[in-house]
């Protein structure tokens, strides 16, 4: 680990930065508000909404979003981008269970994008254990843009699915993304990133004051579509990429389709769309509810 920090707290190379680690118990109120932010009905049997795998691992491992921004040298509104998530569920998370949480930054690499803007690609990985049993693992990919980032946000390309599906999920519709729910989500996540709740910040970015929806909320709409198809407690893995920002008042549709099934677990394509635009795409492993 390179622990030589600049005066601002940023590390020259954060790869290997180990989080303090700790314990985390998901409270009923926390899961209730989180689930409400996704526009889903509350889940049965003390099940935690699967998108809790954003904030629970980070906070439980003894860091927070502000600390990650500091260590990685985030430069301001618009400088941090979300590339993707790979979330593995080895058992369903439930409220009132104490999880042991450990993690670190596992990848750091310098790049230049198609517009000539430099950025650092970062991945961090965190594991949750119930006693000695691995309950979940996340690998999140972020990018930290270096100068020249205050320009119109560029959409990344996404490939359309071509394989003939075995089944199609019921669509989950969001009739208008709520800025108020973004604020509640920011409080749950302890998220200092102003683009999610401060219209002045997005005005500075040339976005006319429209605030940007959080990545886990975008993913939650896909999860809600999965739950409509296979019921809560069925998600085994989510691997997704984020292509475009979602703004307040956007009208969205989430869906998916089954490509194959082996030993009771289905491999699925999933997506979130705004009109004809693909906002989020990826794959899901979906089994029987447990």
Helix (H) or strand (E) holding 145: strand 133-146
When pLDDT is averaged across residues 98-110 and rounded to a whole number, the result is 98
pLDDT tens digits, residue range 176-215? 999 999 999 999 999 999 999 999 999 988 999 999 999 9
Domains of the chain: 22-286 (3.10.129.10)
Predicted pLDDT at 67: 94
Whether the pLDDT of residue 1 is over 80: the answer is no
Cα distances from 169 to residues 49, 163, 215, 254, 276, in angstroms, run: 18, 15, 21, 9, 18
Q: What does pTM read for this prediction? A: 0.89
Which residue from 122, 4, 8, 155 is spatially nearest to 76, judged by alpha carbons? Answer: 8
Residue 201 backbone zone (phi > 0: left; psi -120 to 50: alpha; other: beta): alpha
């Amino acid at each position: 680990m390179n622990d030589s920090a600049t005066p601002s707290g940023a590390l020259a190379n954060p790869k290997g930065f180990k989080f303090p680690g700790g314990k985390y118990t998901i409270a009923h109120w926390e899961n209730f508000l989180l689930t409400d932010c996704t526009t889903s009905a509350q889940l049965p049997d003390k099940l935690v909404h699967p998108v809790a795998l954003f904030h629970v691992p980070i906070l439980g491992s003894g860091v927070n979003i502000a600390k990650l921004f500091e260590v990685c040298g985030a430069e301001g509104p618009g400088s941090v981008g979300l590339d993707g998530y790979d979330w593995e569920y080895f058992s369903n998370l439930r409220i009132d269970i104490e999880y042991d949480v450990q993690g670190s930054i596992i990848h750091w690499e310098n790049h230049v994008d198609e517009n000539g803007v430099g950025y650092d690609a970062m991945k961090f990985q965190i594991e949750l254990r119930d006693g000695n049993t691995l309950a979940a693992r996340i690998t999140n990919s972020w990018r930290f843009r270096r100068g020249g980032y205050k320009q119109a946000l560029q959409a990344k390309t996404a490939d359309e699915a071509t394989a003939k599906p075995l089944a199609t999920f019921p669509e989950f519709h969001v009739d208008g993304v709520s800025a108020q729910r973004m604020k509640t989500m920011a409080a749950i996540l302890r998220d200092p990133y102003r683009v999610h709740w401060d219209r002045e910040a997005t005005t500075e970015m040339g976005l006319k004051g429209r605030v940007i929806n959080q990545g886990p909320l975008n993913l939650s709409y896909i999860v809600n579509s999965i739950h409509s198809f296979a019921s809560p407690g069925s998600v085994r893995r989510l691997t997704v990429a984020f292509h475009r920002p979602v703004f307040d008042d956007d009208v969205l549709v989430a869906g998916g389709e089954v490509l194959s099934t082996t030993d009771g677990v289905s491999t699925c394509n999933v997506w979130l769309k705004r009109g004809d635009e693909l906002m989020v795409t990826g794959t899901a492993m979906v089994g029987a509810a447990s």
